[in-house]
Amino acid sequence: MAQKFGVNDLRGVVAVTPTPALPGAGELAGRDTVDLEETDRMIRRLIADGVDGIITNGTLGEMATLTLTEWQAFTRRVSEVVSEVAPDLPLFIGATTLNTRDTVDRIRFLEDLGIQGVFLGRPMWGGLGADTMVAFYRDIADTFPDMAIVLYDNPEAFKGPIPSPVYAELATLPQVIGAKYIALTPKFAVDIAAVDGKMRLLPLESDWLATRTLYPDEALGCWSSSALCGPEPVLALRDALASGNLEAARHLTHRIDWTYEPFLARTNFPEFSKYNVTLEKLRFDEAGYINAGPARPPFLTAPEAYAEGARENGRRWRHLVDEITATN
């Protein structure tokens, strides 16, 4: 089996999904908590609405809170739906664990299902030195030569960003085709130069216009968890950028920024990271595009001001979806 996805397949809107949960998923004794019917509906709806790729099982996808059995059930259902309705859709399933051997076992499970893309952070107990980081990803690439890898570069989850020299080394591996990038900072320019077109650094959708303006040949895609509140705003932004309609792209970016104003992730990302799962699920359910369901332990609480900010973000996003739908 040859590698299916390369850097040129990582473009457009890549939706980042939660793992839908059944009632009672927040109980310590809860098992088999994945809402497989909603998972099926979620993936079918995203594909029907026109997203260009899907990433699962990052932080908000509760990779750290799912049991192995739950992760396997969710992954199997996602794989079945994509294989049925969009077999060529770029799909990257998260397989990050505390240790390399468990990660290898999970990627073998993906491989057995015929999944050819993995979303992969680093072992999470402690920070890794640059040399260890490179060795980890190189070992994974050597072990799975046909598996495309999208890096998960979350400085809060992994105790620091991927250093620019590490990006340069990883870009030499054909399996490493992209990275989910957290924010447009001065480091982004250094990292863009480091990967030299061999890897797609995906910005958040609200940073896409600015990134595309600076790097028109490289910034051909974005990631969006807000697409799970309804993908219409991000798809409209994609189409405006593709057609060169900068006035529309600026307007859409302004409106997307408006939805994020009350959301803690925009104002204090380190603090948000303590409550990520809880707040993301609240805004998804408030927007109503999917039924994300309750968070799993230990992410069961959040200060009410944070929670209401997440719900307001969901309400504003739903309003923006209605705006776009009304004009089309």
Write out the catalytic residue numbers: 152, 180
Element (H, E) at 55: strand 53-56
The residue written with tokens 């070992």 in the block is: 139
Give the residue from 323, 319, 229, 224 showing the smallest Cα distance to 283: 229
Cα gap 236→324, rounded to integer Å = 8
- Helix, strand, coil percent content, the chain, rounded in steps of 5: 50, 10, 40
Q: What are phi and psi of 200, to 5 degrees?
A: -95, 115
Tell me whether strands 176-181 and 148-153 are parallel, antiparallel or unpaired. parallel
Three-state SS at 8: helix
| DSSP 8-state symbol, 163 | P
Tell me the three-class secondary structure of 274-289, residue by residue. Answer: CCHHHHHHHHHHHHCC
Q: What is the Rg, in whole angstroms, of the alpha carbon atoms belonging to the chain?
A: 18
DSSP 182: -
| Residue linked to tokens 């105790």 | 159
Tally of CB atoms within 10 A around 205: 25
